[in-house]
Structure 1
Amino acid sequence: MSFGPPPSVYTASAQSADKTRVRRRRRLLGGVAAAVVAGALVIGAVALWPSSGDDQKNAATVKQAPDEVSETHEKPPASLDGELGVQHDEEKLTSDTRYGPGLWATDTLAVRGVRNRLEGYKYTPGYDTTAWSLTLDGHLCATSRDMTADHRTAVVVQPDHSGGSGDDAVCDEVVMVDLDTGKKLWQRTIPGADFAYVTNTNLALTKGVVAIAWGHGSAAYDMANGKKLWGASTAADCQDQGYAGGRALLALVKCGRSGDATYRVQKLDARTGKPRWTYQVSKGVQGVYLPSADPPVLAVEAGDIDVTDLITLDGTDGHRAATISMSGYEPLCGASVSYFGVLDKCPGLVVGRDRLYVMSKESFGEDEPADRIVAFDVEKGIMKGKFEGRPFQNVVPLRADGDNLILYRRSMDTIRPAAVVAWNSGTDKETPYLYFHLPEDEEPPLSDPERSHIVYAHGHVFFAPREMERDDKDAKIPVLSVLGVGSVGPKH
């Protein structure tokens, strides 16, 4: 079975760009490598953060409807010492790269998308327990970053068309899955998806709706029963490239050919697909990403192949609120694997309700922070605080939680562990959640947001490589697929 469109200049250049990005972010630590036993997880780390008292009161839990996109509230666990709770390996890897485009976390499971299947793993300290496994009709083409409050998500699949007249590389099947049980709730063939490939298909969830676009057409489905709600044909002059979901649905519309294309962003009525407002992106912009629908945030490539600016919009009428230069920052929009739906995924950027948080570029000075996370006011675009890493210990923004940012800081040695921390940019208070060490051989790729999914939810942090490759010296050695860490104390 083929995976993606037939080989072309586009796919070859995308793969070359991926390798260049990975090389750019790899760095040698010289003599500061951690002296940690390979494959072991060190617990009982020394606490290096002061307690922040009651700064967790800022994010009260709000009860959500089952079909809303999940927004969980976190609180510090009883113990800050981390223990291994999930460690699953992929076996029988061929010489080809095996891709892992999805990672979701419920209160009891880590769910992983790999190749042509989804699997749920129980959080069980000391054990590798597979709760369920769902084999799909073909390779995963696109995944949502989100799930519903009752733990459902959708994926786009590239089914096997080899027995018919269709293109074997077309991604024309959408599947809704219960992440608690692994049950396939419904699946539909997407009409008119003749040019939907793994390189251009994007998927988003908002309340009650699954929306898919591939630059040559679009389709939206009722989340409950799979009924098609609306869509666009390939004949239109302007086409939806993809969507950002969550509390609202935002569409990126492209008009014209790549050389002189123009873009506009629209807030849609999710049930009908009709625009509520439109923002016209300036001419000359080469690319646009949608890291957030509510508040609306655009990441634009203006005169460069990298993101040059963030543009925040007013959610009521779509007028521009602020422009934030990304000089010196790395939002990493589109910088991970260049397929599986990248339009709304920026692993170096997190958007909260009134703050956005972005990673700075790396610094390699021995006495300088490896990088920092800077908070900006969404409405005004002004800086509202910064959280600095430590020498050779990068910090990565993971998700917003009320007024807090939950972030990850990588380890450096047995004395300085990795950590998950909640940071309030308004008060500059830091609340530690977990201290732990990752296995030494796995720590560099797992700590790099371009090379690994990193998800924190319900007191657990999970790491999953975006790509898995076998060891050429011994192809029989399994390759790590997902690793999870939680508190050794009583569960909250």
Structure 2
Amino acid sequence: MSFGPPPSIYTESHRAAEGRRSRRRLRLFGAAGALALLAGTGIGTWLLASPGSSGDTPADNRPAAVAQHPDEIRETVEQPPASPEGQLLLQQQETGLEKLKDGDKRYAPGTWATGEIFAKGTADKILGHSIAPDSEGPVWTLDLDGHLCATSDHVTADGRTAVVVQPEKPEGADTEGVCDQVVFFDIDTGKKLWQATMPSAGSAFVTNTNLTLTRGVVAIAWGQGSVAYDMKNGRKLWDGTSVSSCEDRGFAGGRALLALLTCGTGANTTYRVQRLDPRTGEPEWTYEVARGVQDVYLPSSEPPVLAVAAGDLSVTELITLDDDGTYRATVPMSGRHDPKCGDRYFASPYFGLVEHCDALVVDDDRLYVATKEEPSLDQPANWIVAFDTATGKTTGKFEGRPNQPVYPLRASGDELLIIRESLSEVEPTAVVTWNPETDKETPYLLFGLPEEGLGRLSDLEWSDIVVEQGRLFLSARQIEPDPEDPEAPVLTSIAVGGFTLEH
């Protein structure tokens, strides 16, 4: 697969990432030991179950998820397990890495989960694993006939999503293959629902192709072109492949569809953000980003939020807009906050970047952004700060602990799901929920990571971290062989769930 020159493992970004991971080597928090301890108390028989399976109403009366249309983008509200003690549900290992050339990686973009299945993209296929206890091996495999080029974190309410694929280069072809196939599939069954060829996609590569989903629509952009398809049947709804001074760099989906456009070249490049009618591609409003901006990300389509790198390649401010595209507020990052936009794959532009700010979460009223980690051992490792989307003012702060940095994962109703890493050998890693109105923290899952994970699985720049229906999924985005034992299997993914008491 043609990725262009891979980033050297000796770059400063790699050294920094390895330095962070060396501090994150965790000992296994014995789920089996915790289970034995609980059994010894005579409490009863413990079984893995989905949240709410015990029939109890959550004690804190958390809001239940509103019923969604199947074509809407999923917005689940999590209910904590009866006990936050974590149980390891599955471990996925990658083999055959000794076949890679020195310095090569096996890329593994795309992590999705439903109530029954954990699905993971790797190279040229997607594997679906059952979350049921004692299940072994994948229950389905979706062969893609080419390498993954772009993925989306979005999943429909009934468990479907899409990927873009680069078919194998035809035998004898002089040019590299392009990313011109979009595949829509069902996560529970692994069934390919449809596949379509993107029009005029001769310049679509893994470095510039962005994919997203909004209600009933799959949309892809690659700079010199864009296209949207109907989820139901793969019918093309519209495309934007005409010659223009402005190009669709990428889309942000979810509740709405935003387009990020670049106009001009080099130092004269300017940015525009448009809200589009997903069925027609027609703009409903346009917001002109100030000149001098180096880069723009779209972490939220509704409410519209821009992450802007003004005069620098790092994000310097967040800009919020009204639903009609009118400016609302600016939140300066002030050199202390780090939303981690574009940090995946050691800042290489692979598999789609426009929507991805991994340390920033947006809900209806607030922005939650993590601060940079502090080296001091007697101070909180960092904070998550909440900002009002209407005013840009601070509305709350969630503190990490010494050696335990915190990062926002996603909104769950009126609360925020947070991962708190553990850099000690005693305290477990935790997922907690935080209510910014009451400042209440509630344990969700307590767990440890296998030592062979080397701390990478909880590193936002290294792994996908997904919480869905009472389970946590940690999955590496790229896989490298152990240099000391290249033939050894490498741990790539784990799933953790809570315990609930059988009545």
TM-score by length of 2: 0.90
Deviation of 1:66 after TM superposition, in Å, equals 0.6
Maintained 8 Å contact 1:77/1:491: no
Deviation of 1:59 after TM superposition, in Å, equals 3.2
Residue 255 (str. 1) matches residue 263 (str. 2)? yes
Q: Please give the secondary structure, in 1, of the residue aligned with 2:16.
A: helix
Residue equivalent to 2:253: 245
Maintained 8 Å contact 1:59/1:401: no
Residue equivalent to 1:162: 170
Q: Deviations over 1:170-203 (max 9, x none)?
A: 1000000111110111101111000000000000
Maintained 8 Å contact 1:100/1:113: yes
Residue equivalent to 1:329: 337
User: Which of 372, 397, 400 is 1:386 aligned to?
Assistant: 397
Deviation of 1:208 after TM superposition, in Å, equals 0.3
Q: Deviations over 1:65-88 (max 9, x none)?
A: 111111111111011110110111
Residue equivalent to 2:326: 319
Q: Please give the secondary structure, in 2, of the residue aligned with 1:192.
A: coil
Maintained 8 Å contact 1:300/1:308: yes
Residue equivalent to 1:471: 482
Maintained 8 Å contact 2:465/2:475: yes
Q: Distance in 1 between matches of 2:372 and 2:171?
A: 49
Residue equivalent to 2:108: 100
Deviation of 1:209 after TM superposition, in Å, equals 0.3
Maintained 8 Å contact 1:29/1:392: no
Change over 3 Å in CA distance of 1:162–1:56 after alignment to 2:
farther
Maintained 8 Å contact 2:120/2:126: yes
Q: Distance in 2 between matches of 1:174 and 1:166?
A: 23
Deviation of 1:458 after TM superposition, in Å, equals 0.5
TM-score by length of 1: 0.92
Q: Distance in 1 between matches of 2:481 and 2:259?
A: 38
Deviation of 1:434 after TM superposition, in Å, equals 0.8
Change over 3 Å in CA distance of 1:107–1:430 after alignment to 2:
same
Q: Deviations over 1:110-141 (max 9, x none)?
A: 11011011111111345533111111020000
User: Which of 74, 92, 104 is 1:88 aligned to?
Assistant: 92
User: Which of 351, 356, 379 is 1:340 aligned to?
Assistant: 351
Change over 3 Å in CA distance of 1:76–1:306 after alignment to 2:
same
* Equivalent position amino acid for 2:186 in 1: D
Q: Please give the secondary structure, in 2, of the residue aligned with 1:57.
A: coil
* Equivalent position amino acid for 2:229 in 1: Y
Residue equivalent to 2:183: 175
Q: Deviations over 1:296-350 (max 9, x none)?
A: 00001100010001000001x1011110011201101001123100110111111
Maintained 8 Å contact 1:43/1:437: no
Maintained 8 Å contact 1:240/1:251: yes
Residue 266 (str. 1) matches residue 274 (str. 2)? yes
Maintained 8 Å contact 1:464/1:483: yes
Pairing 1:326-405 to 2, within 5 Å after superposition: 326-327=333-334, 328-337=336-345, 338=348, 339-405=350-416
Change over 3 Å in CA distance of 1:59–1:43 after alignment to 2:
farther
Maintained 8 Å contact 2:360/2:370: yes
Q: Please give the secondary structure, in 2, of the residue aligned with 1:161.
A: coil
Maintained 8 Å contact 2:160/2:184: yes
Larger mean CA deviation between 283-292 and 128-137 belongs to 128-137
Q: Distance in 2 between matches of 1:63 and 1:230?
A: 29
Change over 3 Å in CA distance of 1:36–1:463 after alignment to 2:
closer
Residue equivalent to 1:44: 34
* Equivalent position amino acid for 1:325 in 2: P
Deviation of 1:452 after TM superposition, in Å, equals 0.7
* Equivalent position amino acid for 1:439 in 2: P
User: Which of 216, 224, 242 is 1:216 aligned to?
Assistant: 224
Maintained 8 Å contact 1:269/1:275: yes
Q: Distance in 2 between matches of 1:194 and 1:33?
A: 43
Residue equivalent to 1:277: 285
Maintained 8 Å contact 1:88/1:128: no
Maintained 8 Å contact 2:27/2:450: no
Maintained 8 Å contact 1:43/1:81: no
Deviation of 1:257 after TM superposition, in Å, equals 0.7
Q: Distance in 1 between matches of 2:72 and 2:172?
A: 38
Residue 453 (str. 1) matches residue 464 (str. 2)? yes
Q: Distance in 1 between matches of 2:19 and 2:478?
A: 19
Maintained 8 Å contact 2:145/2:167: yes
Q: Distance in 2 between matches of 1:33 and 1:306?
A: 27
Maintained 8 Å contact 2:227/2:239: yes
Q: Please give the secondary structure, in 1, of the residue aligned with 2:451.
A: coil
Structure 1: gaps (5+ residues): 48-52
Q: Distance in 2 between matches of 1:32 and 1:469?
A: 18
Residue equivalent to 2:314: 306
Deviation of 1:56 after TM superposition, in Å, equals 5.0
Residue equivalent to 2:64: 60
Residue 21 (str. 1) matches residue 13 (str. 2)? yes
Residue equivalent to 1:484: 495
Number of equivalenced pairs: 476
Change over 3 Å in CA distance of 1:375–1:155 after alignment to 2:
same
User: Which of 429, 432, 452 is 1:441 aligned to?
Assistant: 452
Change over 3 Å in CA distance of 1:19–1:151 after alignment to 2:
farther
* Equivalent position amino acid for 1:399 in 2: R
Q: Distance in 1 between matches of 2:442 and 2:170?
A: 54
Q: Deviations over 1:188-228 (max 9, x none)?
A: 11110000000000000000000000001000000110000
Q: Please give the secondary structure, in 1, of the residue aligned with 2:164.
A: strand
Q: Please give the secondary structure, in 1, of the residue aligned with 2:218.
A: strand
Larger mean CA deviation between 184-193 and 117-126 belongs to 117-126
Deviation of 1:379 after TM superposition, in Å, equals 1.3
Q: CA RMSD in A?
A: 2.4
Q: Distance in 2 between matches of 1:25 and 1:377?
A: 31
Q: Distance in 2 between matches of 1:277 and 1:73?
A: 31
Q: Please give the secondary structure, in 2, of the residue aligned with 1:441.
A: helix
Maintained 8 Å contact 2:21/2:455: no
Identity %: 50
Q: Distance in 2 between matches of 1:177 and 1:210?
A: 12
Change over 3 Å in CA distance of 1:491–1:444 after alignment to 2:
farther
Maintained 8 Å contact 2:169/2:176: yes
Residue 72 (str. 1) matches residue 99 (str. 2)? no
Deviation of 1:365 after TM superposition, in Å, equals 0.4
Deviation of 1:58 after TM superposition, in Å, equals 4.8
Deviation of 1:25 after TM superposition, in Å, equals 4.1
Q: Distance in 1 between matches of 2:9 and 2:422?
A: 28
